[in-house]
Amino acid sequence: MDLTAHYCPLRRDLEENSWSLTNRLSLQTSRLLKLIGRDHGAFVEMKDLCDETRTLVAESHRELRHHRSGHGC
């Protein structure tokens, strides 16, 4: 996190949320890969969770980009 973000609590929160969601997606993807060829039902459920999380990551990145452009930080 750069010094500008340190002084903008909203940007910091948006960055931390984005990081948390990205970490969650990484963990879910690892679980998804372990399910390949083992349990089709569980695989489909985990794939759906990955898709939902990927959507949240993209939305989080858009919010951060919008904040940074509008706020200048």
Query: In the predicted model, is pLDDT for residue 14 greater than 80?
Result: yes
Say what the pLDDT of residue 3 is.
59
Q: What is the mean pLDDT of residues 24-30?
A: 98
Residue % of the chain over a pLDDT of 90: 82
Question: Per-domain residue ranges for the chain?
Answer: 3-71
Say what the pLDDT of residue 6 is.
61
Task: Evaluate whether 32 touches 50 at the Cβ level (below 8 Å).
Answer: yes
The closest of 19, 21, 44, 20 to 31, measured between CA atoms, is: 44
